[in-house]
Amino acid sequence: MAAQAPRTLLTEDQFARAVEAAESVVLPSVMGADAIGSVVTAALFEVGFISPPPPADPDTCTALVPDDRGFWVQCLEDPGHDDRHETGEWSWTDDHDGAVPASTG
């Protein structure tokens, strides 16, 4: 099987437009805005797009990576650690497709 092309990170505007399009056919009052956002995230991830990363919690390493359905997970190691990023369930390096390295600020 050919190597998968890197996924494209969507801008906040692109993702908002995708959610608006979904909300135009499934009213948030019927499904819930969060559920619609999750459906859009998973559907777009499947075809090569990553939803914008959330603000990272500054209490741990701020590295982020999309999981296997496109939902962001944050590293739970101490800030500034020098091994692979870890959540217990997920382990990755900064060169993983879609990964956002820890901020150094």
Binding footprint of Zn ion on the chain (CB under 5 A): 61, 63, 75, 77, 85
Q: For Zn ion, give the closer residue by CB, 29 or 105.
A: 105
Q: For Zn ion, give the closer residue by CB, 9 or 99.
A: 99
> What percentage of the chain's residues is helix, strand, coil (to nearest 5)?
30, 15, 55
Residue 61 CB, shortest distance to Zn ion, in Å, is 3
Are the C-beta atoms of 40 and 51 separated by less than 8 Å?
yes
Q: For Zn ion, give the closer residue by CB, 8 or 103.
A: 103
